[in-house]
Amino acid sequence: MNAERKAEFLASLSRVVGAGNVLTEADMTAAFLVEPRGLFRGAALAVVRPGSTAEVAEVVKACAADAVAIVPQGGNTGLVGGQTPDASGGAIVLSLTRMKRIREIDALTDTMIVEAGATLAEAQAAAERADRLFPLSLAAEGTCTIGGNLSTNAGGVAVLAYGNARELATGVEAVLADGRIVNALSKLRKDNTGYDLKDLFFGAEGTLGVVTAAALKLYPRPRARVTAFVGVEDPAKALKLFRIAKDRLGQGVVSFELIARIGLDFVLAHGIDMRDPLAAPHPWYVLFEAASQTESGLEETVEATLEEAFEQGLIADAALATSLTQRNDFWRLREFVSDAQKFEGGSIKHDVSVPVGSVPAFLDEATAAVLGFLPSARVCAFGHMGDGNIHFNVSQPISADKDEFLDKWEAMNEVVHAVVARYQGSFSAEHGIGQLKRELLARAKDPVALDVMRAIKRALDPQGLMNPGKML
């Protein structure tokens, strides 16, 4: 695109969204062009900030007419580069953050319709004001957006009880690559009228269209909640504790998080106002949370669960949160693990999942494989044991050169993912594919499944303008 045509194109976008919402100056666009870990950095013709679905549709039509690629972006919290443009500078970044309306809350049907740019925290707060719960919960919930959550099929700490993001939606509104609007904002739990179009867009990372709004499922707010921080000897004992908890509490088990001691050490060393929750250190920890619609009896059941586990020699110590402040302190320890690793130098991260019953064996085997590859590496494993999703992160050896360590990223991936494959697991449990795992997907996915994905992409985006270079 020559300079004259570029100016005309940007002017056409300004007429749609307003000149102040077409950002081209470097100081205004810089934050949109790099992902949080700095692994991917790109360039763009402009960052465009529409304020409505109609404006999104007009922007997309203009891009289609000039064959300009579109990179949809929400809160820019993704960890695989799915929201980052390439270095060519030929695409626009379509930022949805102005589209924040909570269009409707229907407490009778337990649904709400939310625009894509609303943050997860804003959606949670809107549900709470209606005395309801929107249960998706992530460490980045103050910044990540509903559109991004659905486009990446986000997971988080409550998947065990409520499911991933796509399971928390009943309908979608999306703009196709030609600018047409799919209006499928159904609030129905049963709608057996052909293909389920919403699931085309949820998890597609913006490669098939732009999610502009969604109908989300709500739940009654729990009337009781109990949070425990538990010290255990190893993941095998943590798994047995999980089985006891499920047997006693059923769906009342909302979260069951596993943390290696090294992760807690990192947090205590680098966090502000962080304290060891138990009297003595333990090799592993479980952060276990249960909830109930009944105000009484939950704490007694959790205590009985822990007592049974203690009698069986499964746990060494435990603390129950006695206040909201203490509960939040427990969760801050868990949520800061990933950030704390930054202070320990380079970190090669793996977002993997295996069958829940295989988590202990996977951890043993993957740790041995990593130490066989690099004996001085520091494995920092933590994550959602209750649904089999482990963040198997490897921190650089003490005093090692960070760049030399990170140069081993692909080789380390091969070591860890080989173990994941032996357990019939996934190399991308909740973070998505983006740019980081595109080649992995091409190697690991069933070839026929890949053919189907490519056929869908061609049908909905024949020019290949929707988030090119991501996923496929």
Say yes or no to pLDDT of 9 above 90.
yes
Q: What is the pLDDT of residue 461?
A: 98
Q: What is the pLDDT of residue 57?
A: 98
**Which CATH number do you get for residue 360?**
3.30.70.2740
Q: What is the pLDDT of residue 1?
A: 79
**What total of structural domains would you count in the chain?**
5
Distance between CA atoms of 70 and 63, rounded to whole angstroms? 7
> Are residue 351 and residue 367 in the same domain, yes or no?
yes
Q: Which two tokens stand for residue 107?
A: 């407490």
19 inside domain: yes
Are 16 and 51 within 8 A, CB to CB?
A: no
Are 123 and 165 within 8 A, CB to CB?
A: no
As a whole number, mean pLDDT of residues 147-173 equals: 95
Say yes or no to pLDDT of 390 above 90.
yes
Q: What is the pLDDT of residue 159?
A: 94
> Are residue 366 and residue 324 in the same domain, yes or no?
no
> Are residue 206 and residue 123 in the same domain, yes or no?
yes
470 inside domain: no
Q: What pLDDT band is residue 5 in, cutting at 50, 70 and 90? A: confident
Q: What is the DSSP letter of 31?
A: G
Task: Order across the sheet with 22-23: list the strands.
Answer: 22-23, 46-48, 92-95, 70-73
Q: How confident is the prediction for the chain on average, in pLDDT? A: 96
Which residues are bridge partners to 93 per DSSP? 47, 71
250 inside domain: yes
> Are residue 111 and residue 89 in the same domain, yes or no?
no
Q: At a CB cut-off of 8 Å and minimum separation 6, what does 261 contact? A: 281, 282, 283, 284, 285
> Are residue 171 and residue 200 in the same domain, yes or no?
yes
- pLDDT > 90: percent of the chain: 94
> Are residue 212 and residue 271 in the same domain, yes or no?
no
Q: What is the pLDDT of residue 228?
A: 98
471 inside domain: no
Q: What pLDDT band is residue 205 in, cutting at 50, 70 and 90? A: very high
| Share in percent of the chain as helix, strand, coil (round to 5) | 40, 20, 40
Q: What is the pLDDT of residue 185?
A: 95
Q: Which two tokens stand for residue 223?
A: 């009337």
**Which CATH number do you get for residue 67?**
3.30.43.10
Residues comprising the chain, all counted: 472
Say yes or no to pLDDT of 109 above 90.
yes
Q: Which two tokens stand for residue 192?
A: 């057996």
Q: 400-423: per-residue pLDDT in tens?
A: 999 999 999 999 999 999 999 999
Q: 420-436: per-residue pLDDT in tens?
A: 999 999 999 998 999 99
**Which CATH number do you get for residue 213?**
3.30.465.10
Whether the model clears a pTM of 0.85, i.e. scores above it, the answer is yes
> Are residue 237 and residue 183 in the same domain, yes or no?
no
472 inside domain: no
> Are residue 355 and residue 317 in the same domain, yes or no?
no
Q: What is the pLDDT of residue 323?
A: 95
Token pair 């994941």: residue = 420
Please state the φ and ψ torsions of residue 112, each to the nearest 5 degrees: -145, 150
Angstrom distances, CA of residue 28 to CA of 7, 21, 48: 18, 10, 11
As a whole number, mean pLDDT of residues 57-81 equals: 96
Indicate if the alpha-carbon torsion angle 144, 230, 346, 427 is positive or negative.
negative
The candidate with the shortest Cα–Cα distance to 330, out of 278, 291, 280, is 278
Q: What is the pLDDT of residue 2?
A: 86
As a whole number, mean pLDDT of residues 195-204 equals: 94
Are 13 and 51 within 8 A, CB to CB?
A: no
> Where is the domain boundary, 186, 220, 254?
220
Are 147 and 72 within 8 A, CB to CB?
A: yes
**Which CATH number do you get for residue 317?**
3.30.70.2190
Q: 248-299: per-residue pLDDT in tens?
A: 999 999 999 999 999 999 999 999 999 999 999 999 999 999 999 998 999 9
> Are residue 89 and residue 119 in the same domain, yes or no?
no
151 inside domain: yes
Q: 17-44: per-residue pLDDT in tens?
A: 999 999 999 999 999 999 998 889 999 9
Q: What is the pLDDT of residue 37?
A: 85
As a whole number, mean pLDDT of residues 335-343 equals: 94
85 inside domain: yes
Q: 340-389: per-residue pLDDT in tens?
A: 999 999 999 999 999 999 999 999 999 999 999 999 999 999 999 999 99
Q: What is the pLDDT of residue 235?
A: 98
Distance between CA atoms of 141 and 352, rounded to whole angstroms? 21
469 inside domain: no
Q: Is 287 exposed, middle or buried (0-12, 13-18, 19+ CB in 10 A)?
A: buried
Say yes or no to pLDDT of 157 above 90.
yes
> Are residue 109 and residue 216 in the same domain, yes or no?
yes
> Where is the domain boundary, 298, 313, 338?
338
> Are residue 406 and residue 303 in the same domain, yes or no?
no
Structural domain of 439: 433-464
Are 116 and 145 within 8 A, CB to CB?
A: yes
Angstrom distances, CA of residue 395 to CA of 117, 284, 338: 34, 17, 11
Distance between CA atoms of 381 and 385, rounded to whole angstroms? 11
Task: Kindly write down the DSSP assignment for every residue of 92-123, as one continuous string.
Answer: EEEE-TT---EEEEETTTTEEEEETTSBHHHH
> Are residue 201 and residue 241 in the same domain, yes or no?
no
> Where is the domain boundary, 52, 75, 95?
95
The candidate with the shortest Cα–Cα distance to 181, out of 57, 278, 84, is 57
